[in-house]
Amino acid sequence: MQQVKSGDVVKVHYTGKLTNGEQFDSSVGREPLEFTVGAGQMIKGFDDALPGMIVGDKKTISIQPEDAYGQRSEEAIIPFPLENVPPDMKLESGMMLTLSNQQGQPVPVVVIEVTEDVVMLDANHFLAGKELVFDIELVEIA
């Protein structure tokens, strides 16, 4: 049986959960996720779990923040001038917005506070600082 190795294109079904059991993503009911192992398309801990698996294998892995989305960073808390917000936009704490970075790529942020002059935005990934648990099933090695 062929084992997964770095550089292989694979298809997997997965369910991602937090350690408290709360599910944050799953491919169940959708097409399996396809990616190239070791190409940096996936978080490191997920990528590292695939080599050695054969089609039909299932496993559950735990991934520490440093091998997932990293630790939360205070540098990702961004003060945004309220004068740059359209006047008809009503901002509330907890609201999700999308900004663009200097390369024009979307950056999801969460409003954490609105003051008289500034909107404080959190650009940390919503899974930053969290240990993740994935159930993985290898469906195909292309």
Mean pLDDT estimate for the chain = 96
Quote the pLDDT of residue 77: 96
Tokens of 94: 């907890």
Can you list the alpha helix ranges (DSSP code H) found in 1-123? 44-49
Range of the domain at 134: 9-70+127-141
Sheet with 96-100: strands ordered across:
77-81, 118-122, 106-114, 96-100
Residue 3 lies in a domain: no
Instruction: Evaluate whether 107 touches 123 at the Cβ level (below 8 Å).
Output: yes
Q: Residue 114 pLDDT > 90, yes or no?
A: yes
Residue 4 lies in a domain: no
Quote the pLDDT of residue 131: 98
In a 13 Å sphere around the CA of 111, the CA atoms on its Cβ side amount to 17
Q: What is the CA radius of gyration of the chain?
A: 19
The whole-angstrom separation of Cα 73 and Cα 75 is: 5
What's the whole-number mean pLDDT along residues 105-118? Answer: 94
Quote the pLDDT of residue 27: 97
What's the whole-number mean pLDDT along residues 99-103? Answer: 87
Percent of the chain with pLDDT over 70: 100
pTM for the predicted model, two decimal places? 0.83
Q: Residue 99 pLDDT > 90, yes or no?
A: no
Tell me phi and psi for residue 37, to 5 degrees.
-65, 130
Quote the pLDDT of residue 1: 83
Query: Do 62 and 79 fall into the same domain?
Result: no
The whole-angstrom separation of Cα 45 and Cα 56 is: 20
pLDDT in tens, 1-51: 899 999 999 999 999 999 999 999 999 999 999 999 999 999 999 999 999
CATH number of residue 28's parent domain: 3.10.50.40
Q: Residue 52 pLDDT > 90, yes or no?
A: yes
Query: Do 40 and 106 fall into the same domain?
Result: no
Residue 50 lies in a domain: yes
